[in-house]
Chain A
Amino acid sequence: MSILVNKDTKVIVQGFTGGEGTFHSEQCMEYGTNIVGGVTPNKGGQEHLGKPVFNTVKEAVDATGATVSMVFVPPAFVADAVMEAADAGIELAVVITEGAPVKDMMYAKMYATKKGMKTIGPNCPGIITADECKIGIMPGNIFKKGKVGLISKSGTLTYEGANQVCNEGFGISTAVGIGGDPIIGLSYKQLLQMFQDDPETEAIVMIGEIGGDLEIQAAKFIKENITKPVVAFIAGQTAPKGKRMGHAGAIVSGSAGTAKEKMEALEAAGVKVVVSPAEIGKAVKEVLS
């Protein structure tokens, strides 16, 4: 078991034939991901990386039965791509692209929700179920199979956290990079519930950062719904107010969205909160022994 994706998941790639799309699709296929085709308008009928290319997501879904789409289209076309996927009956869109306008994502997410499609990202490393399926740009080799679920806004902190968990001898069930934009698809709450329901997952690592209140919502949710141990780190304790720290959503506006308030809320919810990402592995060991 795992969450959302496994070795049987049929994946298509939107923006399949572009530079990034090609490079990372190849890496994913090498990892074992079942990529069944891709979509690039006006390249329908061609073959790319040994898989069929379609003009539209609808055609791709009809021909391949794909349920998940990995999205690599340029930022200006992200909303269009996400809505096309939702319209075509895709169940999960994983949006890697960085720099999509916030307003576009606002509309795209509303439509996706209406159509019952889940979204991960944008501006994220993607999702990986260790040894089974990688949909995204993370280095697959650091994710050893195991029983810890991981949710992170940051790409490199996903790798840092997963690496430590694996070095402590545990391993990862599924890791999800949810992205650091102001509006994102799946968030902590939904993913925490999925990990809670996944028999393979025994502990959860959640990595957050300054800005917004998703971590606060997560804290409330954990208190009421999650019985598995949770370890958390919030990045940006030393970040100045009013400055955007790399991610579009990582900004303390006024006095809202500080690392401190998030850490306190999580602690109050019984989460093991670490002050440095260097302590994630140790903390997981602690909560699991």
Chain B
Amino acid sequence: MNIHEYQAKQIFAEYGVPTPRGLIAETVEEAVENAKELGGNIWVVKAQIHAGGRGLGGGVKLAKSLDEVKKYADEILGMTLVTHQTGPEGKLVQKVYIEEGADIKDELYLGVVLDRAKEMPVIMASTEGGMEIEKVAEETPEKIIKVAIDPTIGFQGFHGRELVFGLGITDKLEQRKFIDFASKLFKIYMDKDVELIEINPLIKTGSGDFLALDGKMGFDDSALFRHPDIEAMRDISEEDPDEREAAEYGLSYIALDGEIGCMVNGAGLAMGTMDTINYVGGTPANFLDVGGKANAETVAKGFEIILKNPNVKAIFVNIFGGIVRCDRIANGILEATKMVDVKVPVIVRLDGTNAPEAAEILKNANIDNVINATDLLDGAKKAVAAAKGEL
């Protein structure tokens, strides 16, 4: 689960990670009120969406008067912001964060993620702040300092020294401030079951202080049960409605831009099915894992969600029946076709326990648009042909 910048900054503040002062607004009036309350004469109006690159997309504006705050808040609220992370469809901005303008001397980068190879968290830091860190990683990887931290010992002084010397911070007071900053960020990472925490940019001000100017956080979904405070930060409007609806029924769904709807049991086989459709010249319209319990209800729900996508020209149901026997799944599929009006061809491949019985059931049902396939390759080929109207 991801949260907004302003929410991340609330967590930063709780842990004493310095950030500029700011207030959240949902209307232009609130935005102006916020600016007045913050005081000063320079503010930043920042679109709150779950995606980075807002600055380049026009979602971060520097305002030098209350009139400008009003103007920018009016522009940004309600706009569909397109950044390199939102996809071409962009994201609707429903909230703006009004923040005091900071005096930027240097822009750095600081993040904490899991290093999957080392199986421990790694702090990443760079002097190339403000840039897309993936670009830095690709073009000048030597400019990213990585310090892995064994969680059984936690953040130690030497980790901090590796960071400041790596970044070329020579002033002793600044070194102390930066190490303190990084150790607090690491504590947040561990305490809150964070998956990714990223500050880009982390700035050094004219007076030698470090401030988190941005804040991006994602959390381990499996650990949310023990973080009700984080769960409360969930912004449902940021989630894909179809993915969310599917999840409510225990299905895992992701929309893609092809033509063949897929319904599969198991995430690996679901990806393998998409790959096979692609291999035989078709395009998958979605990823859909119906999980271990492929029964009439889940299959019907799956059909419903797949068919919301108008590009779908055929559906490939690919189930490897294990403990749940294929004959029962076949009956479930037949029932589901009665529950949902499926107008496109449905290619069904059932393999595993009791597969011959399942094929018999499908054959005897004699439903026009339900087509039996013998194996994965056969099913994929038939689905591609059906989508082209050649079956």
Contact = CB atoms under 8 A, between A and B. Distances in A.
Contact of A278 (B265, B289, B380): B380
Nearest to A158: B268
B319 to A, nearest CB: 9
Interface in A94-119: 99-104, 106-107, 109-110
B195 A102 contact: yes
Interface string B348-391: 00011100000000000000000000011100100000000000
A254 B137 contact: yes
Interface stretch (A4-12, A45-53, A63-71, A241-249): A241-249
Contacts of A198: none
A142 B193 contact: no
B151 interface: yes
A156 B266 contact: yes
B86 to A, nearest CB: 11
B271 interface: yes
Given A137-B323, A213-B117, A275-B279, A243 B254 contact: yes
A75 interface: yes
Contacts of A235: 268-269, 271-272, 275
Interface in B179-218: 190, 193, 195
Q: With a 10 A CB-CB cut-off, give which of B137, B376, B380 has the most chain A CB atoms.
A: B376
Nearest to A102: B220
B320 A27 contact: no
B377 A278 contact: yes
B271 A138 contact: no
B130 to A, nearest CB: 17
Given A75-B222, A238-B256, A238-B284, A154 B134 contact: no
Contacts of B322: 137-139, 142, 156, 159
A236 interface: yes
B116 A182 contact: yes
Contacts of A238: 256, 271, 274-275, 277-278, 284
A22 interface: no
B119 interface: yes
B379 to A, nearest CB: 9
A103 B265 contact: no
Contacts of B280: 276
B222 A276 contact: no
Contact of B226 (A76, A157, A255): A76
B376 A240 contact: no
Contact of B267 (A75, A139, A250, A276): A250
Interface string B311-353: 0000000001111000000000000000000000000000111
B138 interface: yes
A213 B116 contact: yes
A206 interface: no
Contacts of A155: 266, 268
A209 interface: yes
Given A76-B226, A101-B220, A102-B193, A276 B272 contact: yes
A205 B232 CA distance: 44
Report the contact-size class of chain B (Cβ under 8 Å from the partner): 35 or more
A277 B151 contact: no
A237 B272 CA distance: 8
Contacts of A210: 271
Given A102-B195, A160-B272, A237-B275, A154 B376 contact: no
Contacts of A163: 320, 351-352
B376 A278 contact: yes
B117 A160 contact: no
Nearest to A78: B222
B269 A160 contact: yes
B279 A276 contact: yes
B268 A209 contact: yes
B296 interface: no
A171 interface: no
Q: With a 10 A CB-CB cut-off, give which of B116, B119, B377 has the most chain A CB atoms.
A: B116
A157 B272 CA distance: 8
Contacts of A156: 264-266, 268-269, 320, 322
A185 to B, nearest CB: 11
Given A240-B256, A278-B375, A100 B269 contact: no
Contact of A247 (B120, B190, B267, B380): B267
B286 to A, nearest CB: 11
Given A152-B268, A238-B278, A246 B252 contact: yes
A59 to B, nearest CB: 28
B158 interface: no
A239 B270 CA distance: 10
A126 B380 CA distance: 28
A277 B352 contact: no
Nearest to A154: B268
A35 interface: no
Nearest to A104: B223
B223 A141 contact: no
Contact of B270 (A159, A246, A279): A246
B327 to A, nearest CB: 14
Q: With a 10 A CB-CB cut-off, give which of B117, B277, B320 has the most chain A CB atoms.
A: B320
B116 A183 contact: yes
Contacts of B170: none
B323 A139 contact: yes
A106 B151 contact: yes
B114 interface: yes
Interface in A21-79: 27, 75-76
A207 interface: yes
Going nearest first, the 4 A-B pairs with the smallest beta carbon separation are A154-B268, A246-B267, A156-B266, A139-B322
12 contacts: A103-B223, A139-B353, A154-B271, A156-B269, A163-B320, A183-B114, A183-B116, A207-B268, A211-B116, A238-B284, A255-B134, A277-B269
Given A137-B322, A245-B271, 15 more contacts: A102-B195, A103-B193, A138-B322, A141-B353, A154-B272, A157-B269, A160-B320, A236-B274, A239-B274, A242-B85, A246-B267, A246-B287, A259-B275, A277-B269, A277-B272
